[in-house]
Structure 1
Amino acid sequence: MALFGTSVLLLLGFIHWSTAGYMVRQTDAAIEAEVVGLAERYDRTGLPGLTALISERMAREPNGPVIYLLADRRLHPLLGNLSRWPQGEEPRASWLSFRLEEDRGAAKKGHVARARLFKLEGGLNLLVGRDVHELEKIQQLIVSTLAWGLALTAVLALVGGALLSRGFLRRVESINDTCREIITGDLSRRIPVSGAQDDFDQLAGNLNDMLDRIEALMAGVRQVSDNIAHDLRTPLARLRNLLETLRGQTQEEHNRELLERAVSEADGLLTTFKALLRIGQVESGSRRAGFQEVDPAELLRDVIEFYEPLADEKEQHIETHLLSAPKLRGDRDLLFQAFANLLDNAIKYTPPQGRIWVALSGTRVIVADNGPGIPPEARDKVLQRFYRLEESRSTPGNGLGLALVAAVAQLHNARIRLEDNEPGLRVILNFPETSG
């Protein structure tokens, strides 16, 4: 609107300059012609001929727009239709502009006049001009018209710009809404196309094609992962059952110990595949249909009560700060699993007699400890599947705990952040006011 208004202002300024300026130049040309005619008469017939011509023209148009004044060197009027020399106008400049103060009729008193000064021999001053009141009125009318035109242009530009911006922002917001739904895990969403075949439709078409390709690739990867988990879980379960049977039939202590280790390894593999299947299920967004109101304080108390015996075995102290908080809308089982994974990690990596903090403030959940922590460069990587720090590879685990927490957070539109607890690790989950 500003650019359009500036362009119109320049255009209207040019129109004013060309129209009003042309009229002023025409007036000046008429005065110049009048002066030239009087000067020629003065050159041929002298002062008597000049005064006779002036008197004749004033008699012909006593109330006309032309102004004549012949004055001596002291500016005392000798002849003309002005009773005195214009106030404040010294005979130095060639062109004078003044207001008519003498009585030339009530209708003309106060009108603006423009005149040309011509000096005669003997110190005489000849002033020839015109009443430019009509010109001034026309100029004011032009200015008023241009001002209204500019105001109307600004209004139209504002309304047009608002309508265009509204349509533009509506299309952009439609793309943003679709992208937000895709980010939360619904890869089936597509950007709507208006059918206008404009740039937005071309962009939407390209993005939809890209989303189709991404969804196909993700579905393929997820299908392979699920198939592997499903196909291997069954023989692993059978292998575990066979090992259990063999353990019950074996009497030798050495063989029983080996069988115990084999059963433990089979349980670890089954837990890994179960976690993979659960992460895949969470990332697909299918659990969102079962969302309900969940009290985060009550849920955290249940998690802490469940893990307190494990912390007591390591003589660890769990300090809680569970303030009243609004309810979250989500999947209670998945939230319990996410909070449990965070507390389990804190207990696992915090040394004996260490301290663990669990806090709830508003919709923010914090689990912190004074253990070894995670280096800043690895905090994003530990949220990926199977990533483990080198110093943690000797401890039990499969590198899927924080990956499941990240997947649950994404499902509930929460933000997860890992910080330094100086010493230790602080994990912060920021849930929106209304999840899901």
Structure 2
Amino acid sequence: MADVLKSLTFRYIAKYVTTLSAAVFLLLAILYSYFSYGYFTELREAIVDELDSLQLVYRGQGLGGLEQYLNDQHNLPTMGRYSYLIVDQQDRKIAGDLAQLPRYREFSDGWVGFQMALLNWGEPVDVDFLARQEPLGDGYVAIVARNYADAVAGMGLVFNTLFRAMIATLLLGIAGGFFSAATALKRFEKLNIELADIVRHNSRQRLSVEDKKGYPREMAQAMNQMLDQIASLMQGVKRVSDNIAHDLRTPLTRIRNHLSQLRARLDPAGQDDIDRVIEECDGLLSSFNALLRISALESGGSTTFNSGLFLPGLLADVVELYEPVASDKGVTLRLRVGNDTAQCAGDSDLLFQMCANLLDNAIKYTPANGHIDVTLATREPAAVEITVADTGPGIDAGERESVFRRFYRVESSRGEQPGHGLGLSLVQAIVHYHHGAITLADNEPGLRVVVQLPGVIPPA
């Protein structure tokens, strides 16, 4: 729900509906003011006309004719009927349906307003009246009043109806915007999941287009084209590096062999110099071999898998191989096997190379008096987990994804430790080749490398 509320689609619809509702509310206020002004203008004119009629009747027929006129008006339907009061000089009632001169408040131009209780279904209800008084002559004064409760109630009903309709429109618009945004977000979330799966697991896979419509379909097609271009560029870069490694490995091997032959004919002092050159050649050959091995693994080269590779024995061999190196540096190397029957399907040489690279890195970066823990455990569903945890400087969280790139090295280690930045690239290639996953985490202090591989349940 939080993602939907923060989505661009929902915010746009919410702003649109809110702005539209505010505009409708302003329009209602203008219309209400306009019709109210028009109604009260007509009401004042009607009261003035009625006063003029009373004056004409009084002048022509006197007080008796005026009383007959008021009686006739009293028998008219209630809707639109006026209320009258004729008083003398002492404000005594002479005629009319008003009981007495009410208490009123004065407005401008002789207009007054007052409230009077009228019976509505047997219950008294205070009703507002607008009135005006005019002298008739001979000391008599006529007051004509008219209640405007029906008109106010009618306008109020219309206004309340429109206002409720506006609120309903606002709520329905926001609800519709929410579901529209949720639908759009679901489409793009599916697109995002597919894209993340491509980035993390299978760069050859492409986004599905058949089940999408409209803009998501166009976006998926554009992303597929972009992925094709990226794959083409990456393939070109890999091809160049592979060709360089392949073409240089053979002459470099010949140079190393010639140096070995030359070393046999030199004195001990010259042999030391040749040894250093041979060591550099061995380092370059190791890098070239690693590059070609990574390319072969990433291209899915054929390798025979052992369907039941015994991991405790393989890890014990790797730890035994590197124990002297760790001991010479003053680092404690420990192996912990949580399941002594753990097995996986894989290539023993590749997995041995993977564990060897991880241990070599851990020993290289762990200071004296530190320790390295190698752990083997099983996870559900059937999976095995190999963990190599050291107490070295570790790797910053922002660089943990980058260290798997070819030739990438953490800046702080470039001048301190030898290497070409291919060790973890080869490890990742081996892990992915075995359909596993590798993650780097903080060991507080140090680095924790966790490799998960599909396990094999041993026969009972």
The normalised TM-score by structure 1 is 0.68
Shift of 1:366: 6.6
The equivalent residue for 1:398 is 420
**How far apart, CA to CA, are the structure 1 residues paired with 2:356 and 2:447?**
13
Distance 2:88 2:363 in 1: 114
Whole-angstrom CA distance in 1 between matches of 2:386 and 2:139:
97
Matches of residues 229-268 of structure 1 in structure 2 within 5 Å?
A: 229-230=245-246, 267-268=282-283
1:182 lines up with 2:194 in the alignment:
no
2:364 to 348, 360, 366: 348
Aligned residue type for 1:142: V
1:427 matched to 2:447? The reply is: yes
The superposition leaves residues 116-145 of structure 1 with CA deviations (integer Å, 9 ceiling, x where unpaired) of 233649998754333444434433442453
1:332 & 1:299 partners in 2: Cα distance? 11
Whether 2:129 is the aligned partner of 1:90: answer no
Cα distance in structure 1, aligned partners of 2:89 and 2:313: 108
SS state at 2:117 partner:
coil
Q: Please state if 1:25 is matched with 2:38.
A: yes
Q: Residue 188 of structure 1 aligns to which amino acid in structure 2?
A: R
> Does the CA-based 8 Å contact 1:318-1:358 persist in structure 2?
yes
Q: Relative to 1, partners in 2 of residues 1:136 and 1:380: Cα closer, same or farther, differing over 3 Å?
A: closer
The answer to whether 1:218 aligns with 2:239 is no
Instruction: Render the CA deviation track for 1:208-253: whole Å, top value 9, x for unaligned.
Output: 3322211111111222333444555567678889999x79xx7999
Query: Equivalent residue for 2:5?
Result: none
Q: Deviations over 1:360-402 (max 9, x none)?
A: 799996733357x889999887654335669766965433224
Partner of 2:130, secondary structure, is strand
1:367 to 389, 392, 415: 389
Matches within 5 A, 1:144-155: 144-154=160-170
List per-residue Cα deviations over 1:284-306 (Å, max 9, x = no partner): 6889xx9x999999997876555
Residues 127, 147 of structure 2: 8 Å contact kept: yes
Contact 1:69 1:80 in 2 (8 A): yes
Q: Is the 8 A contact 1:338 1:404 kept in 2?
A: yes
Q: How far did residue 404 of structure 1 move?
A: 3.6
Secondary structure of residue in 2 paired with 1:128? strand
Equivalence map 1:33-112=2 (5 Å): 33-39=46-52, 41-42=54-55, 52-53=65-66, 55-62=68-75, 63-64=77-78, 65-70=81-86, 77-85=93-101, 89-93=103-107, 94-96=111-113, 98=115, 100-102=116-118, 106=121, 109-110=124-125, 112=127
Q: CA deviation at 1:412?
A: 5.5
Give the distance between the partners of 1:114 and 1:193, measured in 2 at CA.
72
Identity %: 28
Q: Measured at CA, do residues 107 and 21 of structure 1 come closer, stay the same or move farther in structure 2, by a change above 3 Å?
A: farther
| Structure-2 separation of matches of 1:72 and 1:404 | 116
State the aligned residue count. 417
Higher strand share: 2
Which structure 1 segments of 5+ residues have no match? none
Q: For 1:2, give the aligned amino acid.
A: A
- Alignment partners' CA distance in 1, 2:67 and 2:356: 112
Instruction: Specify the SS of the correspondent of 1:187.
Output: coil
List aligned pairs for 1:300-315, cutoff 5 A. 304=319, 306-315=321-330
Stretches of structure 2 that go unaligned for 5 or more consecutive residues are: 1-12, 380-384, 456-460
In the superposition, the TM-score normalised over structure 2's length comes to: 0.65
